[in-house]
Structure 1
Amino acid sequence: MMKKTTAPPDTNTRSDATREKLLAASLDVFGRYGYDGATTRKLADAAGVNLQAIPYYFGGKEGLYIATAEYLVEIIGRHIGDLRLRIGARLAELNAAGTPLGEAEARTFLTEIVQTMVVLFVSEKSQAWARFLIREQMEPTEAFARVYQGIMRPMIDIARHLVGTILGEDPALEHVRLRTLSFVGSILVFRVAHAAVLAQMDWSSVGEKEIAIVRDHAADLVAALTPAKGSQS
């Protein structure tokens, strides 16, 4: 990546604003057109900045693409970072004391996670994120690695720990991993199949009433998590 030239103090704010504009616009443009279809002209025009801003701040389109993935991690982190840290701290505290996490507390934490995520997924602001992520799921690049390691893996690992506790099984077991992924998928559907959700629910949009419904549904999904029939746990 090209080294950014040190700017005088009075231009720092303007430089930061230009960089932010490019990242915000790129998340939408890359999501809509993919890496190949998103020309530097489209990216610059969408951000309302000079074309030369891309090589100046990011070294080129590839650098901007990777930075956009890191920007997405940062955005999602703003919404769930505190929750992740709080749950992580509690798990670390129990581990240090040699005390296992109880099922009731695991259900409480998992409910908090899925209710936070489902509200995020039905919001309009997650549309651009979903487009970007879906493209990376289909044809993963270094950008996917950044998003997966930065936000997806940590959250799935926490969810797997909680699901394993609820099921009374080792979170590392293959079928616990599969139960966790299926569970996560039941939440992701509210974004990746957003149009189908609206059509099936006869909703024209998602407002406070609909958000309350999906939050209750998310809690029901956690409550329904039970060991599979024939489980030895």
Structure 2
Amino acid sequence: MMKNKTSTPSQKQDRGDATREKLLTNSIDVFGRYGFDGATTRMLAEAAGVNLQAIPYYFGGKEGLYVAAAEHLASIIIAHVGDLRNAILERLARLDSDGQAMTPGEARDILTQLAQRMVALFVSRQSESWARFIIREQMEPTEAFERVYTSVMAPMIGMAGRLIATILGEAPQSEHVRLRTLSFVGSILVFRMAHAAVLRQMNWQAAGPDEVDILRRHAAELVAALGGGKEVRP
């Protein structure tokens, strides 16, 4: 006589974690394509290949899934740049602790590494769904935008701003430095936000390894140009 097989608590936990992961990963793309209002719970469940009841069970509903998807997106981006970000923050903290200032040369080197990492990430295929999600939130910010901004955007922009301030020899919180930082970040983001236009202008079929190498060199040139000419003030 065969005995009924029952799942252990750890097996149930693993299945639950897998279901949550599927919903979070796939909902970023669905929400990015159709927006919060356009994405139905059925669409979200089908994209993840899970039961419709999994959404209210794990997230309390579509709104809960939307906010959780934003947090998941932030964690994915951090995972791609976290090692470099942590190394930069540790270096800055060590200098602050020792009462020393970073040299403009070191700031350029670090900013170049950061810009090259970001441009390579932004032209990757995997960042397409992230961009759709974030662009929608830029247009009509919700709580989801606050999660991504607080976790990823603000720290990265702040870190870039401090490096740019060092290069320019100005205060990090000055209006001029903040504007220069936003312009610099925008010059990197354009390769994702205007991806189709970039491919058309460059006569590229896709952003493969050779194209990424070109963009990495371009990112280094953008850093080298900082402070190279006369900074015009009103």
TM-score when normalising by structure 2: 0.94
- Aligned partner of 1:28 in structure 2 is 29
Paired with 2:146 and 2:182, the residues of 1 have a C-alpha distance of: 18
Q: Secondary structure at the match of 2:167?
A: helix
Give the aligned CA root-mean-square deviation in angstroms.
1.3
Matches within 5 A, 1:26-175: 26-175=27-176
- Take 1:231 and 1:26, find their aligned partners in 2: how far apart are those partners? 45
**Residue aligned with 2:50, SS:** coil
Tell me the amino acid that sits aligned with residue 217 of structure 1. Answer: H
Match of 1:3 in 2: none
Deviations for 1:149-187, whole angstroms, at most 9, x for unmatched residues? Answer: 000000000000000000000011001100000000000
Against the structure 1 CA distance between its residues 79 and 230, is the aligned structure 2 distance closer, same or farther, given a 3 Å change threshold? closer
Tell me how far apart the structure 2 counterparts of residues 15 and 217 of structure 1 sit (CA, whole Å). Answer: 44
- Measured in 2, the distance between the counterparts of 1:155 and 1:230 equals 23
Q: Distance in 1 between matches of 2:18 and 2:55?
A: 13
By how many angstroms is 1:11 displaced?
Answer: 1.1
Match of 1:4 in 2: none
Q: Which residue does 2:4 correspond to in 1?
A: none
d(CA) in 1 for partners of 2:164, 2:231: 17
In the alignment, the residues of structure 2 paired with residue 90 and residue 9 of structure 1 have an alpha-carbon distance, to the nearest angstrom, of: 41
Task: Indicate conservation of the 8 Å contact 1:22/1:47, yes or no.
Answer: yes
Q: d(CA) in 1 for partners of 2:70 and 2:34?
A: 15
Sort the Cα spacing of 1:165 and 1:195 in 2 relative to 1 into closer, same or farther, 3 A: same
Amino acid at match of 2:88: I
Q: Which residue of 1 aligns with 2:223?
A: 222
Query: Which residue identity lines up with residue 97 of structure 1 in the other structure?
Result: D
Q: 1:38-66 CA deviation, whole Å, 9 max, x = no partner?
A: 00000000000000000111010000000
| Matched length | 226
Name the % identity. Answer: 65
Max Rg structure: 2
Please list the CA deviations of residues 71-99 of structure 1 after superposition, one character each: whole Å capped at 9, or x if unmatched. Answer: 00100011011111110000000001100
Partners of 2:74 and 2:80 lie apart in 1 by: 10
Q: Which residue of 1 aligns with 2:199?
A: 198
Query: Which sections of structure 1, spanning at least 5 residues, go unmatched?
Result: 1-6
2:115 maps to a residue whose letter is: V
Q: Structure 1: how far apart are the matches of 2:212 and 2:164?
A: 24
State the alpha-carbon separation in 1 of the partners of residues 74 and 135 from structure 2. 15
* Per-residue deviation, 1:228: 5.7
Equivalent AA in structure 2 for residue 86 of structure 1: A
> 2: CA distance between counterparts of 1:156 and 1:16?
32
Residue 169 to residue 39, structure 1, CA distance change in 2 (3 Å):
same
Residue 229 of structure 1 and its aligned partner are, at CA, apart by: 2.3
Distance in 2 (alpha carbons) for counterparts of 1:197 and 1:43 = 31
Could you say if the C-alpha distance between residues 67 and 227 of structure 1 is closer, same or farther in structure 2, counting changes exceeding 3 Å? same
Deviations 1:25-48 (A, max 9, x none): 100000000000000000000000
Please give the secondary structure, in 2, of the residue aligned with 1:140. Answer: coil
What runs of 5+ residues in structure 2 fail to find an aligned partner? 1-7
